[in-house]
């Protein structure tokens, strides 16, 4: 489990966004992968990006991986598309363990709402957060939803598209154009 000091290394010398700092405190109490299936904040040395996508410094310098997205290697990163935008306002990219890179939230708070679905994302040609009929909630999923409402006045969502569609409309084309400099 990452300490705040270790976790802060994900953000290239910038302050940890407040929402993630508070979530790390919640995770310290609840446990890794215990409030949203497959999810956990962690220190990431960018080796997943280097080995799976590109080791170009300009590519790595614009991405800040900060969380595991599922149990098989997918992860979330902030995309620093512009230096003047605060980290809390950066879009969240989901990098799939079998390929695929998709904007999934306009910002960190959007990701927190996606986590209320309490399912692991499926990533390949697109991204989905599928929940089957016999879904068993994570041990602290209910506590997480309550925490999210109390801390940020954010409600749980019913469908991932509520968050993903506007985020992709706003950022996906620009992200796709940017990443083509580094890989196909």
What's the pLDDT tens digit per position in 133-174?
Answer: 899 999 999 999 999 999 999 999 999 999 999 999 999 999
Give percent of the chain above pLDDT 70. 99
- Residue 93 resides in a domain: yes
Residues 6+ apart with CB under 8 A from 37: 70, 118, 119, 120, 138
pLDDT surpassing 70 at residue 184: no
Q: Number of structural domains, the chain?
A: 1
Residue whose token pair is 């985020």: 167
How sure is the predictor about 125, in pLDDT bands with cuts at 50, 70 and 90? confident
Please say whether the beta carbons of 104 and 117 come within 8 A: no
- Residue 170 resides in a domain: yes
- Residue 184 resides in a domain: no
Note down the domain range covering 135.
4-179
Average pLDDT of 11-27? 96
pLDDT surpassing 90 at residue 1: no
Secondary structure of 21-49 as H, E, C letters: HHHHHHHHHHCCCCCCCCCEECCCCCHHH
- Residue 148 resides in a domain: yes
pTM of the full predicted structure?
0.97
- Residue 70 resides in a domain: yes
- Residue 143 resides in a domain: yes
- Residue 37 resides in a domain: yes
Q: How many CA atoms lie within 13 A of 174 on its CB side?
A: 13
Alpha carbon dihedral 101, 75, 36, 5, in 10-degree steps, equals -140
pLDDT surpassing 80 at residue 5: yes
- Residue 118 resides in a domain: yes
Residue whose token pair is 């209910």: 142
* H helices, E strands: number in the chain: 7, 7
């Amino acid at each position: 489990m990452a300490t705040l000091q270790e976790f802060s290394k994900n953000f290239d010398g910038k302050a940890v966004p407040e929402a993630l700092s508070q979530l790390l405190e919640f995770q310290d109490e609840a446990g890794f992968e215990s409030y949203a299936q497959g999810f956990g904040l962690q220190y990431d040395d960018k080796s997943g990006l280097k080995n799976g996508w590109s080791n170009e410094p300009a590519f790595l310098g614009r991405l800040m991986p900060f969380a595991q997205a599922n149990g098989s290697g997918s992860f979330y990163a902030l995309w620093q598309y512009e230096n003047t935008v605060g980290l809390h306002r950066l879009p969240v990219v989901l990098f799939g363990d079998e390929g695929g890179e998709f904007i999934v939230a306009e910002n960190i708070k959007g990701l927190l709402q996606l986590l209320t679905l309490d399912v692991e994302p499926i990533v390949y040609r697109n991204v989905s957060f599928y929940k089957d009929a016999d879904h068993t909630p994570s041990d602290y999923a209910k506590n997480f939803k309550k925490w999210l409402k109390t801390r940020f006045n954010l409600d749980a969502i019913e469908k991932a598209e509520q968050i993903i569609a506007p985020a992709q409309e706003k950022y996906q084309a620009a992200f796709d154009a940017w990443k083509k400099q580094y890989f196909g």
